[in-house]
Amino acid sequence: MTLLQDIRISRRTAPAFVVVGLYWGAFAAFAPQLKDAADLGDAEFGIALLVGAIGAVAAMWLAPRLDALLKHHSLMVGIFMLAAAFLLPAVATSAVTFSLAMVLASGASGLLDVIMNTRVSHLEAHHNRPLMNLNHAIFSFAYALSALTAGGLREIQIVPLVVFALLGAASLVCATQVRSDHAFREISSVSESPSPLPKALIIVGGVIVLFGFMAEQSTEAWSALHLERRFSVGAAEGALGPAILGITMGFGRLSGQLIVRKFAEGVVLRWAGTLAALGTAIAAWAPSSLLAYLGFGILGFGVSVVAPMAFAWVGKHVPPALRGLAISRLAVIGYAGFFIGPPVMGFLAENFGLPIAFSVIAVSLLTISVVLVPMLRVLAGRSPHPAPSPHT
C-alpha cells in the first residue's frame, strides 16, 4: 500500500521520467546504426556526444530560470522540446550534423531532467517520504522497454526516424498527464532564502552523480558495441546489454525505495558503488556473452540508486527556497558524467579497447564507496538544514 501511495503522489512527475527513458533507450539500441549513418569512428562518436554536453550543461544551468518562467507548463514544454530534438540524430549524416543534433537533444534532455528532479525533491520534502528512487525506477523500466523494442525493430531494419517519430506520439500522451503540474506550487523563489548554497555539499554530491552517470551512460552507449564486437552477436542480442541494464536498474531502484526507509543513504550508497564496480569488471572481462550479461545486470542493480540517492540526500540538506537551484547545480556537475562518459569510453576504446575502458569505469565506481560517501556524510552532518528523516 505504501508503494501505491508513492506512485499516486508521483503521478505528475512520473510521465516525464517515462519520456526521457523511452528516448535514451531507443538511442542506446540504435547507437551503432546512428554512428555508421554519420560515418563516425569510435573516437569521433565519443567526441560528438561530448559536443552534445554543451547543450546539456547550458540547459541545466538555465533550468531554474526557465522553470520559473514557464511555471506549471515546464514539464509539458520540456517533453515537447525533447520529442522534437530527438528526431534530429536520426537524420544526421555527418559528424557536424550529428554533433549539432546531439547539442539540441542533450540540451532538451538536460532541461527536463533538472525540472523533473526538482519537482520530485519538493514532493519528498512536502510529503516527508522518499520518492526519488521510484521515479528513477520508472525511467529505467521505460528505458529497458524502449531498448528491447528498438533493438527488435532495428533487427527487422526499421529506420531510426520511424522509431523516434513513434516515440513522439507516445510523448504527446505523457505530456497531457503533466499539464496540471501541481508540484510546482511547492517551489519557492530563490530570492526568498538568505542562506548561501552549500557549495562543498553540492560538489561532492555532484561528483557521486557524475561517476554514477558515467557508468550508466557509458554502458548504455557502448554495451551493444562491446557485445557485438567481443562475442559477434547480432543486433537484437547486442541490444540486450542496455536492456538488461535498464531492467536491473528499475528493480534496483524499486528495492532502493524500500531499503532507504530502513538504512541510511550513506550505507546504501557505499554498498551500491562496490556492487556496481564488481559488475562492471565482470562485464569488461567476461569470457562469454552470458557472463557479460550477468555483469551488466550486477552493474545495473548497483548503480541504480547512486544518482537518485545523491539527489535526495543533497535536496534534504538545503533550504526549500534554494532546492531548485541546488538540484540544477548538482545536475550540471553530475550529468556531465552522463555525457562525458561515452566520449571518455570512445577515447579509451579507440586506444586500449573496450575491456580497459570499462575497467576505468569500475575504478571510478569504487571511488564512490571509498572516498566520496564518507566526505558527503561529514558535509551533510554540518548542514544547518537537517533532514526531517533520521537517516542522514
pLDDT digits (tens, 9 = 90+) for 134-173: 898 898 889 878 988 998 898 888 999 999 999 999 999 9
169 Cβ neighbours under 8 A, 6+ residues apart? none
Q: Give yes or no for a contact between 304 and 140, defined as CB atoms under 8 angstroms apart.
A: yes
pLDDT score for 195:
66
pLDDT score for 187:
47
344 Cβ neighbours under 8 A, 6+ residues apart? 46, 214, 218, 357, 360
Residue 126 falls within a domain, yes or no? Answer: yes
- Which of 237-246, 303-312, 350-359 comes out lowest in average pLDDT? 237-246
- Please report, for the domain that includes residue 102, its CATH number: 1.20.1250.20
Residue 386 falls within a domain, yes or no? Answer: no
Burial code (b: 16+ CB inside 10 Å, e: under 16) for 45-66 equals bbbbbbbbbebbbbbbbbbbee
Query: What integer best gives the mean pLDDT of the chain?
Result: 85
pLDDT score for 338:
66
Residue 389 falls within a domain, yes or no? Answer: no
CA separation for the pair 131, 125 (Å, rounded): 10
Q: Where are the alpha helices (DSSP H) in the chain?
A: 2-9, 14-37, 42-70, 74-85, 95-127, 132-155, 160-177, 199-231, 235-259, 265-285, 289-303, 306-316, 323-352, 354-367, 373-381
Burial code (b: 16+ CB inside 10 Å, e: under 16) for 156-176 equals eeeebeebbebbbebbeebbe
**Long-range Cβ contacts of 67-72 (<8 Å, 24+ apart):** 67/114, 67/115, 67/118, 67/187, 67/324, 68/189, 71/184, 72/179, 72/180, 72/181, 72/182, 72/184
Q: Give yes or no for a contact between 105 and 164, defined as CB atoms under 8 angstroms apart.
A: no
CA separation for the pair 139, 48 (Å, rounded): 24
Q: What angle do the packed helices 306-316 and 235-259 form, to 10 degrees?
A: 30
Q: Give yes or no for a contact between 107 and 58, defined as CB atoms under 8 angstroms apart.
A: yes
Tally of structural domains, the chain:
1
Residue 218 falls within a domain, yes or no? Answer: yes
Query: In this structure, what C-alpha cell is assigned to residue 142?
Result: 521505460
Q: Give yes or no for a contact between 197 and 357, defined as CB atoms under 8 angstroms apart.
A: no
Residue 356 falls within a domain, yes or no? Answer: yes
Residue 113 falls within a domain, yes or no? Answer: yes
pLDDT score for 362:
95
pLDDT band at residue 385 using 50, 70 and 90 as cut-offs: low
Residue 335 falls within a domain, yes or no? Answer: yes
pTM reported for the whole predicted model: 0.78
pLDDT score for 205:
92
Residue 326 has pLDDT above 50, yes or no: yes
Q: Give yes or no for a contact between 76 and 179, defined as CB atoms under 8 angstroms apart.
A: yes
Angle at 253 between CA 366 and CA 84, to 5 degrees: 100
Domain that holds residue 132: 2-381
Residue 183 has pLDDT above 70, yes or no: no
Residue 391 falls within a domain, yes or no? Answer: no
Q: Is 4 left (phi over 0), alpha (psi -120 to 50) or beta?
A: alpha
Upper half-sphere CA count for residue 99 (Cβ side, 13 Å): 15
Q: What angle do the packed helices 306-316 and 265-285 form, to 10 degrees?
A: 160
Q: Which residue has the higher pLDDT, 242 or 88?
A: 88
Query: In this structure, what C-alpha cell is assigned to residue 244?
Result: 538488461
Q: Of 336, 240, 373, which Cα lies nearest the Cα of 297? A: 240
Q: Give yes or no for a contact between 198 and 384, defined as CB atoms under 8 angstroms apart.
A: no
